[in-house]
Amino acid sequence: MLELRNLPFDPNSNAVVSKEACDYHHGKHHQTYVNNYNNLTKDSELANASLYDVRGSAQGWLFNNAAQVYNHDFYWDCIAKKSDKSSELEAALKSDFKDFKAEFINSATTLFGAGWTWLVYNPNTSKLEIKNTSNAATPVTDGLVPLLLVDVWEHAYYIDSRNARPAYLEKFYENINWDFVSVAYEWAKKEGLKSVKFYIDELHPVASGCCGGGCGCSH
Ligand code: MN
């Protein structure tokens, strides 16, 4: 069973999303992905599996819901508070992009339909890349480590900005929690994809060594 993570900020005073948008996006959309995941895995061998593993092996409807739980978990951290980049991340963005802000916003603006725009670390090249994914897809599937994420499904901006995706993206960009992104970058360089597992396991702990009920643990 997964639980919906708490928002890592006060929804009454977030610079990117209004309280009403949060109530729908976190309280209804994100909650629904958690509920769907729990309904799909209950009474199966996946009931106590880690979200990281299920997201890695599932297909179709279960993958979509597992990935959407993770994607939204990560998105909320990216907009938790406006903060600054580490000097290491600043240097990497300067060396791997001509104009990171313009390229990231352009990628998110031109993503057709529902999806996500990501800054990722590629452990094979040690470089940063911008990726778009459609619907629930996550670049973790391709071995890339997420550092920054913006939700460009219409439900992410329609309440606050109506159809104006660029206005939402500008507000998003000006209030990025670069501190979170910088820490993700540090971990990505050190641990690669394992850093994604650490992140997910911390938000959605799995009982270790769980016996299925015979050892007196709470499961
Ligand atoms: Mn969303």
Whole-number Å distance, alpha carbon 143 to ligand 1 midpoint, is 22
Convert the pLDDT of each residue in 42-92 to its tens digit: 999 999 999 999 999 999 999 999 999 999 999 999 999 999 999 999 999
Strand partners, 127: 122
Q: What is the pTM of this model?
A: 0.94
Whole-number Å distance, alpha carbon 71 to ligand 1 midpoint, is 8
- 3-state helix, strand, coil split of the chain in percent (to 5) is 55, 10, 35
Both tokens of 35, joined, read 């509920």
Convert the pLDDT of each residue in 151-188 to its tens digit: 999 999 999 999 999 999 999 999 999 999 999 999 99
Question: Number of C-alpha atoms within 13 angstroms, CB side, residue 99?
Answer: 5
Whole-number Å distance, alpha carbon 206 to ligand 1 midpoint, is 25
Q: Where do we find the tokens 């949060």?
A: 22
Q: Where do we find the tokens 């600043």?
A: 90
